[in-house]
Structure 1
Amino acid sequence: MKLHKMKDGVYMIPAVHWERRLFDSLIPLPDGTSYNAYLVEGSEKTALIDTVDPMKAEFLMEQLKDVKRLDYIVANHAEQDHSGCISLVLEKYPEAKVFATPKAKPMLMDLLLIPEDKIITVEDGETLSLGDKTLRFIHAPWVHWPETMFTYLEEDKILFTCDFLGSHMATSEMYATDECKVYESAKRYYSEIMMPFRTSIQKNLDKLKDLTIDIIAPSHGPAYNKPEFIINAYHSWVYDEPGNIAVIPFVSMHGSVKKMVEHLEGALKERGVIVKPFDLTVTDLGQLAMALVDAATVVIGTPAVLAGAHPDAIYATYLANALRPKAKFISIIGSYSWGSKAIDQLSGLLANLKAEVIPPVFIKGFPKEADFKALENLAETIAQKHRENNLK
């Protein structure tokens, strides 16, 4: 296959994984994914920026078969879907050196057994000349590991961001053309992977302000020849206030909790609140994560199971806590038969959320008139708090 030319001497090597449906044995991939490496040929030296997942090693090596010399391998990120083929590339080009941040060096040695003498560490702002092309290394910790960096090709104004600004999306197109589709994939990627590091992302977005960028080249999904599209999207997800939205992840075993959710949903809608319920027995957790990006309120619904919360509700609560969305308010609703510690159990899993806790509605058995009234009061409290915060 012919290399995908971006600019003179700059090529994308996109290893498209159309059929992959799960990442890290955790994250659903409804649209597959890709692992992008980039080849930069200067007048004197040649660099490979990132590699690909070992599952696509054969593709990478086929793309490199006519590359006679490789001087440098830039490891923007030590995670194996980008660094996993470095050792294989070093076998083909034994004179090449690996460039990485000081924090990435021990990770590459531990995860991939790369010899220490093959790795050169670079400081923030340090440059590397390829002759007529210059690479500038920009430390960008915690997007989404502590060792990550960007690489900026100064003459061609291309920013290689590895995971940052990427999307799990299999595509044959080099650049993002279907912006609606790419926006959804990028938002899913942000919500599942980047959202816990929102404050670090703010700092790293600020670093881009001083750069003139023609192309953003991430290591998942298409590149952006209109960089403002993805930068503006990230600014919105990171900085904007949450919307007038309540997300309700719930489980119902015998119908009681479902009835409570339906009543709460109706009561919130009557008060002008947008409601997004998620039945956790059938929910794509990526869709739930995306909804959490914009939600001002999260209400978890659960029945009692062995005096505790339902396992699916526990997992959803753990997920929300781990993702650290911008939600301002949180509550719990549910039903029990003979006893429950679900409220204490779920509350203890929410330490990372900087949200006000609204008193829960936890009832015995099937909801009765007084219980429906309590749900009405909960809806009114949520709507009032949204109004007080001018949420739209």
Structure 2
Amino acid sequence: MPAREILPGCFSVGAIDWDRELFDELIPLPNGTSYNAYIVRGSEKTALIDTVDPTKMEELFANLDGLQITSIDYIIVNHAEQDHSGSIPAILERYGGAEVITNGKARDLLAELLHIPKEKIRVIKDDDTLSLGDRTLRFFITPWVHWPDTQLTYLEEDRLLFSCDLFGAHYATSNLYADDTTALYPAAKRYYAEIMMPFRKSIQGYLERLDSIEIDIIAPSHGPLYDQPSRILDAYRDWTGDAVKNEVVLPFVSMHGSTRMMIDHLIGALIARGVTVKPFNLTKTDLGDLAMAIVDAATIVIGTPTVIFGPHPEVISAAYITNLLRPKTRYAAVIGSYGWGGKAVDRITGMLDRLKVELIEPVMILGMPGEEAFAALDRLADEIVKRHKDDPLVREGGNAP
């Protein structure tokens, strides 16, 4: 993708990865991704803000050549992870006079991850500025979005925020800006769910700080830019806020049909009581779809058969990932079946220790469910409805950008 002008003297020079299907060997990418990098020319100095994944390094060089960039004064590193910084050694080799500008934590990581000499790196602090002549870069140190080294860079005169991973989306598109928000919203929510959600409390504070500056354009490190920033800002306020929806997410596995019968009954019972239900058969589920669903659901009910003495391995994986992502879910329960015994409930609830949830009494049965089991599931549905109605943080609906 050729370099494209954002503003006079400010260009997008990154690369689109249409074919990438997996990120960090974990996260599915149904829409590919992009590695965004930016050139900002001032009257005296030129800055490159972030680079690209090493697999797309030649595209970055081609874009810089297309703009006739013969020298770079500063390489601004907003984040040391390799999809942002992996091309820095090659940039330094090509543009020998460039100085790396970043915060202290990122400097240490760059030295370890890419063996960049620390003496090549100038350390900045929160709210420091860097003059390019007629343009000024201001730095906001924002740890845990989503690494401890993350920072944002703000181009003051143009009110342009280079937001690094914050507000990004794994979404390959030829559009420079987020024009089709109907298609982009799920990708942005998926990105938040998979990467940002564990740090939502930190992000809440950074959103408040961003309210104090004027922002005309948001330029993230993945996905299209926002020339209507309120769309993504409002979405993040919704996702990171404490309110949840009147929804139940049901990740489950069924080996011989018993747990599936329980899941189906509970789905019907909840629907009849006015609760939105989102079931996920874990043998078929895309991890990102499950992550998106738990962003703002009030309750998670995990369904599992018993494998020897514990939960099904797919259920263990889903519980582990949910615990890592730390959604704002308010309630959790376990349902399922067993053949002769086991500790599936204890194992699952023990894996949710990072979640601030109230546990509702489980429904675990021997063998195939009958009238007694179905009655217990009805009581579980009643209890979920009661908790939702009594909880002031449970609401209907949500915001979209």
Q: TM-score range by the shorter chain?
A: over 0.9
1:20 is matched with 20
Q: How far did 1:2 drift?
A: 4.1
Q: Cα deviation per residue 1:126-157 (whole Å; 9 max; x = unaligned)?
A: 00001111100111111000110000001111
1:58 is matched with 58
Q: How far did 1:63 drift?
A: 1.1
Q: How far apart in 2 are the matches of 1:14 and 1:135?
A: 19
Q: How far apart in 2 are the matches of 1:148 and 1:222?
A: 20
Q: How far apart in 1 are the matches of 2:222 and 2:261?
A: 41
| Paired letter, 2:206 | N
Q: How far apart in 2 are the matches of 1:179 and 1:2?
A: 23
Q: How far apart in 2 are the matches of 1:60 and 1:14?
A: 6
1:317 is matched with 319
Q: How far apart in 2 are the matches of 1:340 and 1:195?
A: 32
Which residue of the other structure, out of 136, 139, 142, is the alignment partner of 1:134?
136
2:179 is matched with 177
| Paired letter, 2:261 | K
Which residue of the other structure, out of 151, 154, 167, is the alignment partner of 1:149?
151
Q: How far did 1:55 drift?
A: 1.0
Matches within 5 A, 1:271-282: 271-282=273-284
Q: How far did 1:240 drift?
A: 4.8
Q: How far did 1:182 drift?
A: 1.2
Q: Share of identical aligned residues, percent?
A: 56
Q: How far apart in 1 are the matches of 2:256 and 2:174?
A: 46
Q: How far apart in 2 are the matches of 1:241 and 1:170?
A: 31
Q: How far did 1:3 drift?
A: 1.9
Matches within 5 A, 1:158-307: 158-307=160-309
| Paired letter, 1:144 | H
Instruction: Answer yes or no: is the 8 Å Cα contact 2:74–2:98 preserved in 1.
Output: yes
2:37 partner SS:
strand
Instruction: Answer yes or no: is the 8 Å Cα contact 2:2–2:13 preserved in 1.
Output: no
- Tell me the number of residue pairs that the alignment of Structure 1 and Structure 2 aligns: 392
Q: How far apart in 1 are the matches of 2:6 and 2:337?
A: 58
1:298 partner SS:
strand
1:70 partner SS:
coil
Q: How far apart in 2 are the matches of 1:154 and 1:77?
A: 20
Q: How far did 1:332 drift?
A: 0.1
Matches within 5 A, 1:1-150: 2-65=2-65, 66-150=68-152
Q: How far did 1:61 drift?
A: 1.1
Q: Cα deviation per residue 1:273-303 (whole Å; 9 max; x = unaligned)?
A: 1110000000011011000012000000000
| Paired letter, 2:323 | N
Q: Cα deviation per residue 1:79-133 (whole Å; 9 max; x = unaligned)?
A: 0000100001000011111011111111000000101111111010000001111
Q: How far did 1:70 drift?
A: 0.4
Moved over 2 A (4+): none
- The CA RMSD measured in Å over matched residues stands at 0.8
TM-score, with length taken from structure 1: 0.99
Q: How far did 1:14 drift?
A: 3.0
Instruction: Answer yes or no: is the 8 Å Cα contact 2:14–2:51 preserved in 1.
Output: no
Q: Which runs of 5+ in 1 are unaligned?
A: none
Q: How far did 1:246 drift?
A: 0.4
Q: Cα deviation per residue 1:50-82 (whole Å; 9 max; x = unaligned)?
A: 000111011011111221110000000000000
| Paired letter, 2:27 | I
Q: How far did 1:339 drift?
A: 1.3
1:155 partner SS:
helix
Q: Cα deviation per residue 1:152-198 (whole Å; 9 max; x = unaligned)?
A: 00111100011000000000110000011111110000000000001
Q: How far apart in 2 are the matches of 1:148 and 1:312?
A: 33
1:300 partner SS:
strand
Q: Which runs of 5+ in 2 are unaligned?
A: 397-401
Please, which moves more after superposition, 234-243 or 221-230? 234-243
1:91 partner SS:
helix
2:333 is matched with 331
TM-score, with length taken from structure 2: 0.97
